Structure 1
Amino acid sequence: MTTVAIRDDATGTKANMSAIYDQADPRAYFRELGKLDYAIPAAAQPVFQRMVDAIRARRKGTVHALDLGCSYGINAALLKYPLAMADLQARWTDPVLHGIDSDAVREVDRAYFDAQPCADVRVIGLDPSEPAIAYAEDVGILDDGVTLDLERNAVPPALAETLAPIDMIVSTGCVGYVTQRTFAALMPAVTAGAAPWIGNFVLRMFPYDAIEQTLGGWGYVTEKLEGETFAQRAFASDIEQERVMAQVDRLGLDTAGLEADGALHAEFFLSRPKNEADIPLADLIDQAT
Structure 2
Amino acid sequence: MTAKADFTDEYNATDPRAYYANLGDLAYQVPAHGSAVFRHLSDVIDERSGPPTVLDVCCSYGINAALLNHDLSFEDLRHHYTSPAVEGLSRRELVDADRQLLAARRRPDARRVLGLDVSENAVGYAVEAGLLDGGIVADLESEAVPGEVAAQLGPVDLVTITGGVGYVNEGTFEQIVSACDAPPWIAALSLRWIGFDPIAESLEEHGLVTERLDGYAVRQRRFADAVERDHVLGVLEDRGILPNEMEEEGWHCAELYVVRPEGAAREESVDELLGDAVPHLVGDA
Give secondary structure in 1 for the equivalent of 2:130: coil
Which residue type is aligned with residue 211 of structure 1? I
Give secondary structure in 1 for the equivalent of 2:68: helix
CA distance in 1 between partners of 2:129 and 2:103 (Å): 8
With over 3 angstroms needed to count, the CA separation of the structure-2 counterparts of 1:256 and 1:214, relative to structure 1, is closer
- How far the C-alpha of 1:149 sits from its partner, in A, is 0.3
CA distance in 2 between partners of 1:83 and 1:34 (Å): 15
- How far the C-alpha of 1:48 sits from its partner, in A, is 0.8
Matched, 1:184 2:174: yes
Matched, 1:105 2:94: yes
Superposition CA RMSD, Å: 1.4
With over 3 angstroms needed to count, the CA separation of the structure-2 counterparts of 1:211 and 1:133, relative to structure 1, is same
TM-score by length of 1: 0.92
TM-score by length of 2: 0.93
Which residue type is aligned with residue 47 of structure 1? V
The one of 8, 28, 46 equivalent to 2:36 is: 46
| Per-residue CA distance 1:148-205 (angstroms, 9 max, x = gap) | 0000111112221211111100000111011111112222111xx2321001111111
- Percent same amino acid at aligned positions? 38
Map of 2:73 onto structure 1: 84
Map of 1:218 onto structure 2: 206
The one of 6, 22, 27 equivalent to 2:12 is: 22
Which residue type is aligned with residue 117 of structure 1? R
CA distance in 1 between partners of 2:239 and 2:154 (Å): 36
Structure 2: runs of 5 or more not aligned:
279-285
CA distance in 1 between partners of 2:195 and 2:129 (Å): 35
Map of 2:242 onto structure 1: 254
Matched, 1:156 2:146: yes
CA distance in 1 between partners of 2:15 and 2:95 (Å): 7
Matched, 1:207 2:195: yes
CA distance in 2 between partners of 1:279 and 1:88 (Å): 36
Give secondary structure in 1 for the equivalent of 2:106: coil
- How far the C-alpha of 1:280 sits from its partner, in A, is 1.4
Single out whichever of 124-133 and 278-287 deviates more from structure 2.
Answer: 278-287
- How far the C-alpha of 1:281 sits from its partner, in A, is 1.1
CA distance in 2 between partners of 1:245 and 1:217 (Å): 32
- How far the C-alpha of 1:67 sits from its partner, in A, is 0.3
CA distance in 1 between partners of 2:147 and 2:4 (Å): 34
The one of 33, 47, 56 equivalent to 1:67 is: 56
CA distance in 1 between partners of 2:136 and 2:275 (Å): 33
Contact 2:117 2:123 in 1 (8 A): yes
CA distance in 2 between partners of 1:210 and 1:256 (Å): 22
| Per-residue CA distance 1:76-98 (angstroms, 9 max, x = gap) | 11111222222212211212111
Contact 2:70 2:110 in 1 (8 A): no
Q: How many residues align?
A: 276
CA distance in 2 between partners of 1:108 and 1:274 (Å): 44
Q: Give the 5 Å matches for 1:234-249.
A: 234-249=222-237
CA distance in 1 between partners of 2:269 and 2:228 (Å): 35
Which residue type is aligned with residue 25 of structure 1? D
Runs of 4 or more off by more than 3 Å in structure 1?
A: none
CA distance in 2 between partners of 1:120 and 1:35 (Å): 29
Give secondary structure in 1 for the equivalent of 2:163: coil
The structure whose residues are more often helix, as a share, is 2
CA distance in 1 between partners of 2:7 and 2:56 (Å): 20
CA distance in 2 between partners of 1:129 and 1:235 (Å): 23
